[in-house]
Copies of this chain bind each other. A is one copy, B any other.
Amino acid sequence: MIIVLRLNHRRIRDKRVSTHVGLVSRALGADKIIYTGDDDTGLFNSIKSVVKNWGGAFNAGYASDYKRVIIGYKKKGYLTVHLTMYGLELEKEITKLRKAKNLLIIVGGEKVPADVYELSDLNVSVTNQPHSEIAALALLLDHYYKGNELNLKFKGGKKIKPNPRGKTFY
C-alpha cells in the first residue's frame, strides 16, 4: 500500500494544489490520500468525482492530527517518507523505498512543523531546488515504480484512446 499524507490543507489557498496532489497520487499508483488542515468537503468531492468517472479504488480521507497518522502508520510497519527539498537525494534512497512493502509519503504544505522531520523515517529531496510538491510526489512515485505506473489500468470509468490530434475515447 502507498498512502500519501498531505499536510495542512487550507480550503481557499490550497484548493487547486491539494487537488493536484490527490489526483497525482491516484494516477501514479498510490492507494489513498489523507489530508490534514481544513476538512474540506469540496476537495473530497473533486477527488470522489474523478474516481467515479475515471475508475479504480482510490480513497481520500481526513485526519485532524498528522502526528497520530505518522506514528500510527509507523506502528503498522509502514516506511514513512517526508518529501522536502532539504532531505537526502531521492536516487540514493530509492532502494530503501522499494524494499518497503508499505509507504506513507508525507507531502508538506507552505510551512512544515519541525517535528515532521523527526517523526519521519526518511527525509527525501527531489532536487535541492525549490519547485513543487506536486512534481516531487510525481517523480518519487515514477522512480519508485520505474515508470511502470504510466501504464496503470483503472477498473471502470472512461478510457481515453491515445490520439495524435484530438480527443477520443474507447
Which A residues are closer than 8 A to B by beta carbons? 13-14, 16-17, 20, 23-24, 26-28, 50, 54, 85-91, 114, 117-118, 122-123, 125-132, 134-135, 137-139, 142-143, 147, 149-150, 152, 154, 159-160, 162-168
Contacts and interface: CB of A to CB of B under 8 A. Distances in A.
A134 to B, nearest CB: 4
Contact of A87 (B91, B152, B164): B164
User: Assembly of this chain: how many copies?
Assistant: 2
Contacts of A89: 150, 162
A159 to B, nearest CB: 7
Contact of A147 (B91, B149, B150): B91
Main secondary structure, interface of A, reads mixed
Nearest to A163: B86
Of A129, A134, A162, A168, the most chain B CB neighbours within 10 A belong to A129
Given A150-B89, A150-B126, A135 B165 contact: no
